[in-house]
Amino acid sequence: MRKEGIQIGRIYGIPIFLHTSWFIIFGLIAFSFVSEFDALQLNIPTSRLWGLGLMTSALFFASLVFHEMAHSVIAKHYKIPVVSITLFVFGGVSRIGREPTRALEEFNIAVAGPLSSLFLAGGFWLVARQAGSNAILSTLAGSLAWINFSLALFNLIPGFPLDGGHILRAIVWGFNNDYARSTRIAARSGQVIAYGMIALGAMTALRNYQPLGGPVGGLWLAFIGWFILSAAKQSQAQVEARGALEGLRVADIMTPELHTVGREISLEDYAREMVRTGRRAHLVVAGDQLVGLVTAEALNTVPQQDWDVTSVQAVMLPKTKLHWAAPEEPALSLLDRMRTIGMQQMPVIAGGSVVGIVTRDSILRVLQSRQEVGE
């Protein structure tokens, strides 16, 4: 178990996770397929109907993994690290270690997903055509063909965070050679589309418009619009933040104050120290020697009832596995590294000694200060 969810395996070296919200949508989709098979009046046991529904739902989510793998394979072709693929309530998402450096890379990575879904739609359509009188196979393949076709079209909508938004950014980026401005355009397009989906979903729910699913379908459409709106705003905020950090070094964003704790103290005592100082990361020392790093997230790895009998040393990231930064390293380079390895804190070392630490809070303080002075 990790913050991304439950890891179920690796494909092409990329860990695949199931977010807890995935189980809800998996059950709902399986139920919809059970209803679809039941409408065929095949006169088969309920247990077999549910088996078919669960299998079809699993194939649907396998299609989502295939879609995300298409993005990931192209990203790795361009030497862009792929951190993970996570399935959640809205589908799937690939987490990459850094942004593409050229418009062509962005375009090829983005378009690979819809093309893969169209490929699957064509394959399932051929199976459905060849199914003949086999109603179960015809329904299963036909449903998956339509779903993958719809997934491809939906993802081609030109707005962040959809693939179409990344394609739009790549096209604009190719013309104006301005990554930040292109991101703003794609993010604003995503916000306009999201507001439209929310409004359409609300009207569908209130007026019980059945072609779009009535109240349930309308609420779901509005919910998806809200998710797109949030992601689009986040994308715009991220590019603004990266612009504010352009040209800065690690020394400019680190906190020189070093907060330390002894490796022998209990997690209960560490929790009190964290609450007292408001710091979410501490260097762990033995005497005057650095031995590791402990964070607030480490507390979640141990049941709270065991905090009083578990030491910080048991959950800390040891010095041998500790990633670190140099004061002269570009701030944006460090952020990309931290995103790739999934860390929110990193010590800064110069001449063999720890001279500071970069945390989420220290970065936010720099961004806030630059915003206040208009930079």
Catalytic center residues: 68
How is 95-134 classified by DSSP, letter by letter? EESS--SSHHHHHHHHHHHHHHHHHHHHHHHHHHHH-TT-
- Per the structure block, which two tokens stand in for 182? 């292109």
For residue 1 the two structure tokens come to: 């178990």
Query: Would you tell me how many other CB atoms lie within 10 Å of the CB of residue 274?
Result: 20
Instruction: Give ∠ CA 69-75-78 in degrees, rounded to 5.
Output: 145
Residues 315/317/319/321 CA torsion (nearest 10 deg): 130
Contacts of 368 (CB under 8 A, 6+ apart): none
CA-based R_g, the chain, Å? 24
The 8 Å CB, 24+ separation contacts for 32-40 are 33/57, 33/143, 36/139, 36/143, 37/136, 37/139, 40/135, 40/136, 40/139
Query: C-alpha angle 177/181/183, rounded to 5°?
Result: 100
CB-based contacts of 159: which residues, under 8 Å, 6+ apart? 165, 168, 186, 187, 189, 190, 191, 192, 193, 194, 228, 232
Please, are residues 201 and 223 in contact by the beta-carbon 8 Å criterion? yes
> How buried is residue 247: exposed, middle or buried, by Cβ count under 10 Å (0-12/13-18/19+)?
exposed
Strand 91-96 and strand 82-88: the pairing is antiparallel
Angstrom distance (rounded) from CA 331 to CA 231: 24
3-state secondary structure 228-289: HHHHHHHHHHHHHHHHHHCCCEHHHHCECCCCEEECCCEHHHHHHHHHHHCCCEEEEEECCE
